[in-house]
Amino acid sequence: GDSVTQMEGPVTLSEEAFLTINCTYTATGYPSLFWYVQYPGEGLQLLLKATKADDKGSNKGFEATYRKETTSFHLEKGSVQVSDSAVYFCALSILNRDDKIIFGKGTRLHILP
């Protein structure tokens, strides 16, 4: 079935370090891809999305490129801040299916000052 696999955490970085969180997917259809962020005690917020191959989603300094050939959607940020500490979820959904979003297990990110 359709699934998302992302790197396990926690990931601990110093402020201003470069961030990469790996995400790969398996889908029988043509998915849209998402990164969601969950801050402590809060619900999910959409961070960025891409709906077709080679699209780059970006927001708040974060970027991810939809790579169909490698079935990947890795999240990157050039210089992280303490305020980026949160749990990040890679996810997919497929049009013309039951409109569910399939999430990865999440990666907890800790940024040290």
Partner 1 sequence: DAGVTQSPTHLIKTRGQHVTLRCSPISGHKSVSWYQQVLGQGPQFIFQYYEKEERGRGNFPDRFSARQFPNYSSELNVNALLLGDSALYLCASSSNDRVRNTEAFFGQGTRLTVV
Q: Which residues bind partner 1 (CB under 8 A)?
A: 4, 32, 36, 41-46, 49, 51, 89, 91, 93-95, 97-106
**Shortest reach from residue 79's CB to partner 1, in Å:** 26
In the complex with partner 1, the residue whose CB is nearer, 28 or 113, is: 28
In the complex with partner 1, the residue whose CB is nearer, 56 or 100, is: 100
The amino acid that residue 6 corresponds to is Q
Which residue is listed with tokens 């990865």?
Answer: 104
**Shortest reach from residue 25's CB to partner 1, in Å:** 13
**Shortest reach from residue 15's CB to partner 1, in Å:** 26
**Shortest reach from residue 68's CB to partner 1, in Å:** 16
In the complex with partner 1, the residue whose CB is nearer, 19 or 48, is: 48
CA-closest candidate to residue 35, choices 87, 70, 71, 82: 87
Say how far apart CA 75 and CA 104 lie, in whole Å: 13
In the complex with partner 1, the residue whose CB is nearer, 10 or 78, is: 10
Terminal Cα-to-Cα distance of the chain (whole angstroms): 41
Say how far apart CA 101 and CA 33 lie, in whole Å: 9
The half-sphere exposure of 63 on its side-chain side, counting CA atoms within 13 A, is 10
